[in-house]
Structure 1
């Protein structure tokens, strides 16, 4: 059975640290604590006094002052790891934590998970090839020497950096090292930790290199573990659930996130709000619980992106300079069917094909596998189609040798709709207004990754109104856009009323339009 030595880096909230240590060691696990040397000495004394009789707790053999982005964070971790290796010979795994982390699974589940997965869990992506670093310095973190703290010594940090860059004072990365990057929250097997410590003693050149890199807690262990352990034994992921906002700040969890956290495929979560007292209480009881069954749905990240992304409206596809004067053609007619229920739009399109000879294509800007002719590669990905939308549409008109073309679009594609409506060609639109039952919305949430088979009922009940309002919002945006040639079919309307909209949209006779609209299966789910 796995026995875990938790490596805890902390600098505040001694009461929370004491409780965390007591919870995690109560079931037989261990903890090695590094309490920042720059923190309140009374707090450290309080921790040591409260845990003095707990032989499952030890402390880093040396305490140092830590600063964000500095080597000191890595050195503090190494001190705590060295103490844990010496103090806990029965520990099979070493798990990196912060004072803001809490278990979101029971010890029983956690130990069984580690027994079933003989591997090291650490994010370890290629530093240069991956897109882990989104903005800011990349190569500069490594090839220049960083001696100062960017947050507390900003002038010195950037003066030193700019001087090195100005005079070309760079250095090489050690030849046999492939620098990797990832989250600092890892879980490593004992053998791996011992290999890493051996490496630190043998490779002084690598240690010197990392001591003056910037933000080495994102690269040091990630690089060394990949160097000493076969890649087949590494799971490039963290077992700690954490999310970041668009501004690079970690998302904080509160009392109402309990069910969400338990349903994620992770063992711990970060960051738990200090004010989330009920959440802390429930998670604290959970770690010692026995026989708890967890339903893993793992929708947390996609759900957060969906909820925080609402309302951020901008031109997602800015016009390229070569498309400024482009047009589909003054004599051409582009007819767009707009519907959130794609299966309904596809049925309407099929009926249109049966009654008219107008070429009709399905969701070419939403579904990668929509059948399209070979247009020289422009049709291969959704990204290319969206970027070169007018060129794509012109080529489709030419391919089908027609001046009339029908395509389907999702109501969320309002930017594309506005772009085509502004073209010098004739653009007509048909919005199909459908009803959305709770069952349909749940299915939609699962299809787009907002929920899973194991998502709790409470989570779904909170999510459904948001999804429903989002769909209403998309329809309102289309209405507010004031499109000139916009018709509307409604699920609750009769065939005669919908036939009028179809006749105007397609410019066909009322009889042919009624032939399309009278199909009783169009709106079936």
Structure 2
């Protein structure tokens, strides 16, 4: 009978990881855990304390710091796989999971399912001939070397890419390897996993090649399985059910998706909402059940397309999170810097980025050219960003894989501030008050189209008081709105006062906040 060794990559929520491990191993299956080395030591100690006595749980001997799109994810997977192969000689299958996955069938059903066919379950499509990559880079992922993280080291990532491009530093793919691509959620037989471990110890050139490709967790295992295993022994599919919205983001499942999930022809589902406690309870009990029969209708994808196509509001079957009532996450924290002088806010954000590593986005609702990642076209115009504002914010939290995000918004956008402050997430505002000279206001008039190069001085003198009043009116509206978490720094404040407000806004120690407050020429024009 099949015995599954689950390979769990995780980085947060130790309580959920412990429950997941206890649930999956209670029926005789195994688990190897890699807990991200970036996570807090206390969280890892909590997991070890709870699971060290469980003989069906082991841990990767070496933990690595993982980053999206990096080789580190593959390295973490290999470390956990190696630990599982050594610790669990009776394991017949190795199943890749994340902390957001849960079983949607019983262990009894899963074991019988795997016993039915002697194959590996992994999506594995031809990298160049298939349309698995819908938009963005394709060949560039492979023929150029990528040493930096695209999300956290963006400047270095693109600088090195452009340098290689200019110098023509393309590299060749190993001559005997046909690169494949597919979902990272696979289930492989023991002999396949052992062949992969043996292959990488012999073919260091292949490992070196993939270690500097971009998003190798979508290509490494997919390529090696096709290289090592006959096609007749590969079922080109994942056993983990997941759906994507029309914006390219994973659909999250909630309490009322239980019946839908059970009807899908999959063993696990991703991703289960952290708030879906009742769904998690029911699915946990289901895995240990015996004699449960499942009516497979497999209508999940078609139902989702139908309901989202009609624009149905609500969560049941089709969470349209860009609707007005949607939230971008109860546990998340949105920090908004409100400033009329955009160059001052950008200077402040750059200093915050250097000091804290909190992801920041500059004036995304005001500047058409503000940098945003590819989020499936929702980011392509100011109109779309405003129309799907909450969707956009939620997608940015997911993109940066963070619970804290800083954005800049012009004080004229009081509607955005009011909307975001009504969200279930914690929203903090930092109002940056600047002094406005006549020269600055004249420049501002030119930027917004109120004046040109040949506007008479008399006309400028007439409109300057009106412009100054408009700016003051925007500031007054923010004060009158009664926002609960509003801090304010002024150009005329002493560094100590500025640091105190920044410390509260960013939840930083006073000395760190003082480093930011003492930024040279912060308010200079």
2:58 partner SS = strand
The aligned residue for residue 172 of structure 1 is 172
Inter-partner Cα distance in structure 2 for 1:20 and 1:54: 13
1:287 aligns with 2:318: no
Deviation at 1:113, TM superposition (A): 0.3
Deviation at 1:259, TM superposition (A): 0.2
The aligned residue for residue 150 of structure 1 is 150
Deviation at 1:191, TM superposition (A): 0.3
Inter-partner Cα distance in structure 2 for 1:53 and 1:205: 39
Matches within 5 A, 1:302-381: 302-311=302-311
The aligned residue for residue 89 of structure 2 is 89
The aligned residue for residue 163 of structure 1 is 163
Inter-partner Cα distance in structure 1 for 2:247 and 2:148: 24
Matches within 5 A, 1:492-511: none
The aligned residue for residue 356 of structure 1 is none
Inter-partner Cα distance in structure 2 for 1:134 and 1:167: 28
The aligned residue for residue 205 of structure 2 is 205
Inter-partner Cα distance in structure 1 for 2:278 and 2:291: 22
1:26 aligns with 2:43: no
1:260 aligns with 2:272: no
Inter-partner Cα distance in structure 2 for 1:39 and 1:94: 25
Greater Rg over alpha carbons, structure: 1
Runs of 4+ displaced beyond 4 Å: none
The aligned residue for residue 274 of structure 1 is 274
The aligned residue for residue 9 of structure 2 is 9
Deviation at 1:53, TM superposition (A): 1.2
Inter-partner Cα distance in structure 2 for 1:167 and 1:151: 24
The aligned residue for residue 506 of structure 1 is none
The aligned residue for residue 108 of structure 2 is 108
Deviation at 1:60, TM superposition (A): 0.4
Inter-partner Cα distance in structure 1 for 2:248 and 2:61: 33
Question: Over residues 154-198 of structure 1, what are the superposed CA-to-partner deviations in whole Å (9 max), with x where a residue is unaligned?
Answer: 111111111111121100001100000000000000000000000
Deviation at 1:44, TM superposition (A): 0.5
Inter-partner Cα distance in structure 2 for 1:151 and 1:304: 30
Inter-partner Cα distance in structure 2 for 1:208 and 1:279: 42
Inter-partner Cα distance in structure 1 for 2:140 and 2:247: 21
Deviation at 1:117, TM superposition (A): 1.4
Question: Over residues 292-318 of structure 1, what are the superposed CA-to-partner deviations in whole Å (9 max), with x where a residue is unaligned?
Answer: 000000010111112112259xxxxxx
Matched positions, count: 312
The aligned residue for residue 238 of structure 2 is 238
Inter-partner Cα distance in structure 1 for 2:292 and 2:94: 24
The aligned residue for residue 301 of structure 1 is 301
TM-score, normalised on structure 2?
0.59
Inter-partner Cα distance in structure 2 for 1:307 and 1:130: 28
Inter-partner Cα distance in structure 2 for 1:247 and 1:220: 26
Matches within 5 A, 1:19-58: 19-58=19-58
Question: Over residues 73-110 of structure 1, what are the superposed CA-to-partner deviations in whole Å (9 max), with x where a residue is unaligned?
Answer: 00000000000000000000000000000000000000
Matches within 5 A, 1:220-239: 220-239=220-239
TM-score, normalised on structure 1?
0.59
2:105 partner SS = coil
1:213 partner SS = coil
Deviation at 1:238, TM superposition (A): 0.1
Question: Over residues 20-78 of structure 1, what are the superposed CA-to-partner deviations in whole Å (9 max), with x where a residue is unaligned?
Answer: 00000000000000000000110100000011210100000100000000000000000
1:47 partner SS = helix
Question: Over residues 204-236 of structure 1, what are the superposed CA-to-partner deviations in whole Å (9 max), with x where a residue is unaligned?
Answer: 110010000000000000000100000110000
5+ residue gaps, structure 2: 313-525
Summarize the Cα distance change of 1:258–1:311 in structure 2 as closer, same or farther, 3 Å threshold: closer
Inter-partner Cα distance in structure 2 for 1:223 and 1:144: 18
Inter-partner Cα distance in structure 2 for 1:61 and 1:222: 24
Inter-partner Cα distance in structure 1 for 2:244 and 2:162: 30
Deviation at 1:246, TM superposition (A): 1.9
1:66 partner SS = coil
2:91 partner SS = coil
The aligned residue for residue 74 of structure 1 is 74
Inter-partner Cα distance in structure 2 for 1:178 and 1:95: 24
Question: Over residues 320-343 of structure 1, what are the superposed CA-to-partner deviations in whole Å (9 max), with x where a residue is unaligned?
Answer: xxxxxxxxxxxxxxxxxxxxxxxx
Inter-partner Cα distance in structure 2 for 1:4 and 1:91: 6
Inter-partner Cα distance in structure 1 for 2:145 and 2:77: 21
Inter-partner Cα distance in structure 1 for 2:39 and 2:311: 41
Inter-partner Cα distance in structure 2 for 1:52 and 1:266: 30
